[in-house]
């Protein structure tokens, strides 16, 4: 196992860092640094800048716009994206739906959807969680009934991130209720959000922001050609997708940027031994997380296999570190200050409470590791 970068990889990192720093618009960088609200246009502007360069989807095959970079180069790029301080590339299309289509989609589905995802023409969201079906996703009840060349969908999804921005949603739906195992009888459908019968209602979070939503489906007609893979075999697709989702939740580059900002912001608190101890512990944990991520990359490079169940470690520790950084930043701030930065910081602290819940709660991730990796 080799966890060191070669001279060529270090040179690649420097080139990527230089380009990102020179092409990230200053207003977007300032918005991210001050924890300001990012609009749909803000998110897509950075997406399209990277798409024009040919860097928006490095992991895709070259024939669909990928860069041809190896695993280490892609990891370096992801880290530098977070470190430069630009808006996050929304993963639902680029790194969730697209890998599914590349693995399970028909040629017609790839030609229809992948170029539009790449160029930022379609904004996607994820329809997984339901009231009563979050961590226990196999208990979902949203139903799709095949009627000729269409499915008719009825049900509800919740905590649907950025559904109010979305043009399309990929959904898990139940197409067969007469199966022995709950994981059977589930299908993976792609739905146009403009289809009659789809209603999006906001769920306001405790930070006051509108990020997540409820989505209702009332007799929604979905063309059968929008079924991905096989009818009632959607759980196979879902498991494949979740591996990629959890691989991206560590956000090491972003956490390194936040750590650097925290050190600068809290320099006057360094005489507080308890504060300094917490900061040091977070830095050590972040270094350990980075090494763990490199171990996964090395294994994927050697075996060519997608991430396994133990990738949940990245999700657990990465989100805990993200929360710890915001907690220390808030602790170092002046609670009486009423400026825009302090307000943005307060909202970020509240918003980061959800990181240990989404993509499968951390409690569920520990169960996955215990069962699938440790065999307990």
pLDDT in tens, 254-293: 999 999 999 998 888 888 999 999 999 999 999 999 888 8
Domains and CATH numbers, the chain: 7-89 (no CATH), 124-234 (2.40.110.10), 249-373 (1.20.140.10)
Q: Among 80, 245, 254, 290, which one carries the catalytic annotation? A: 245
Q: What is the pLDDT confidence band of residue 313, given thresholds at 50, 70 and 90?
A: confident
Which ranges of the chain would DSSP assign to H, the alpha helix? 7-23, 26-33, 40-53, 71-84, 91, 98-104, 107-118, 234-247, 252-265, 273-303, 312-332, 340-351, 362-368
Q: What percent of the chain has pLDDT over 70?
A: 95
Give the pLDDT of residue 181.
82
**Single pTM value for the model:** 0.89
Using the structure block, give the residue that is written with the tokens 């924890």.
35
273-303 vs 312-332: helix axis angle to the nearest 10?
A: 150
312-332 vs 340-351: helix axis angle to the nearest 10?
A: 150
Tokens of 109: 């589905």
- 124 vs 312: CA distance, rounded Å: 24
Using the predicted structure, report yes or no on whether residue 180 has a pLDDT greater than 90. Answer: no
Of 272, 359, 258, 266, which is closest to residue 307 (Cα–Cα)?
A: 359
Task: Write the pLDDT tens digit of every residue in 62-118.
Answer: 999 999 998 889 889 999 999 999 999 999 999 999 999 999 999 999 999 999 999
Containing H/E element for 223? Answer: strand 210-223
- 210 vs 200: CA distance, rounded Å: 12
Does the annotation mark 245 as catalytic? yes
- 199 vs 254: CA distance, rounded Å: 34
Asked if 30 contacts 84 with a C-beta cutoff of 8 angstroms, the reply is no
> Measuring CA to CA, how many Å separate 33 from each of 26, 254, 260, 340, 354?
10, 11, 12, 11, 20
Q: Counting Cβ atoms within 10 Å, is residue 283 exposed (0-12), middle (13-18) or buried (19+)?
A: middle
- 139 vs 256: CA distance, rounded Å: 38
């Amino acid at each position: 196992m080799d966890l060191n970068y070669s001279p060529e990889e270090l040179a690649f990192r420097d080139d990527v860092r230089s380009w990102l720093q020179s092409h990230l618009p200053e207003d977007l960088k300032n918005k991210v640094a001050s924890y300001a609200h990012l609009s749909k246009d803000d998110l897509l502007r950075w997406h399209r800048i990277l798409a024009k360069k040919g860097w928006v989807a490095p992991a895709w095959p070259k024939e669909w716009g990928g860069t041809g970079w190896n695993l280490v180069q892609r990891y370096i790029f992801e880290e530098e994206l977070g470190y430069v301080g630009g808006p996050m590339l929304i993963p639902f299309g680029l790194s969730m739906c697209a890998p599914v289509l590349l693995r399970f989609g028909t040629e017609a589905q790839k030609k229809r959807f992948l170029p539009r995802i790449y160029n930022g023409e379609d904004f996607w969201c994820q329809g997984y969680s339901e009231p009563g079906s979050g961590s226990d996703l196999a208990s979902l009840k949203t139903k799709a009934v095949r009627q000729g060349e269409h499915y008719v969908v009825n049900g509800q999804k919740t905590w649907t991130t950025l559904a109010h921005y979305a043009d399309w949603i990929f959904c898990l739906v139940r197409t067969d209720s007469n199966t022995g195992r709950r994981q059977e009888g589930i299908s993976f459908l792609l739905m146009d959000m403009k289809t009659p019968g789809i209603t999006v209602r906001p769920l306001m979070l405790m930070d006051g922001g509108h990020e997540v939503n409820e989505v209702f489906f009332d007799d929604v007609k979905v063309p059968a050609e929008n079924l991905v893979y096989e009818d009632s075999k959607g759980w196979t697709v879902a498991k494949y997708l979740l591996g990629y989702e959890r691989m991206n939740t560590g956000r090491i580059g972003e956490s390194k940027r936040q750590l650097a900002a925290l050190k600068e912001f809290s320099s006057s608190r360094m005489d507080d031994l308890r504060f300094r101890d917490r900061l040091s512990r977070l830095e050590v944990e972040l270094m350990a997380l980075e090494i763990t991520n490199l171990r996964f990359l090395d294994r994927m490079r050697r075996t060519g296999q997608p991430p396994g169940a133990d990738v949940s470690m990245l999700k657990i520790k990465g989100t805990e570190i993200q929360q710890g950084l915001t907690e220390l930043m808030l602790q170092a701030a002046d609670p009486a200050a009423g400026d825009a930065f302090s307000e943005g910081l307060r909202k970020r602290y509240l918003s980061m409470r959800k990181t240990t819940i989404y993509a499968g709660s951390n409690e569920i991730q520990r169960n996955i590791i215990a069962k699938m990796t440790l065999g307990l």
